């Protein structure tokens, strides 16, 4: 919670709950659905600040070293009005390489994990 708290507390649901294998209906990584599968780096959840200036993406697992994750829900074609001012991996002091196209928001993760569970990206929107 020390690292990811701002992506959870005092936030609101975004228009899309999430994406990835466990976002599908009747599937749970915790065993509460009809089918249990482990979380992957493709399992992403979304939240937003009350004023909608900040969007958070929470990866449920760490991608393999040097891997780029594509967040499909944030593609230019699906979210044309999303103008990103800045992007920050919570708990990581360095800059993270990212780009955005019609496939999605592509984020390259560093070698070092900022924490042990769930990895949050703060996306500041331009006004």
Please write the tens of the pLDDT for every residue from 76-123: 999 999 999 999 999 899 999 999 999 999 999 998 888 888 999 999
Which domains are assigned to the chain?
5-125 (2.60.40.1180)
Contact 18, 71 (CB under 8 A): no
Going by the DSSP 8-state scheme, the letter that residue 25 receives in this structure is T
Contact 29, 22 (CB under 8 A): yes
This prediction has a pTM of 0.86
| Widest pairwise Cα distance in the chain | 42
Angstrom distance (rounded) from CA 74 to CA 82: 8
Angstrom distance (rounded) from CA 94 to CA 112: 10
């Amino acid at each position: 919670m020390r690292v990811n708290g701002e992506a959870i507390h005092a936030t609101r649901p975004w228009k899309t709950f999430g994406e990835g294998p466990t976002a599908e209906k009747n599937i749970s990584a915790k065993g509460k659905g009809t089918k249990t599968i482990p979380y992957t780096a493709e399992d992403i959840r979304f939240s937003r600040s009350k004023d909608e200036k900040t969007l958070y993406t929470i990866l449920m697992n760490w991608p393999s070293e040097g891997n780029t994750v594509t967040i499909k829900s944030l593609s230019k074609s699906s979210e044309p009005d999303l103008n990103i001012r800045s992007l920050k991996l919570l708990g990581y002091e360095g800059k993270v390489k990212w780009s955005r196209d019609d496939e999605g928001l592509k984020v390259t993760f560093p070698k070092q994990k900022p924490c042990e569970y769930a990895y949050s990206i703060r996306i500041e929107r331009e006004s």
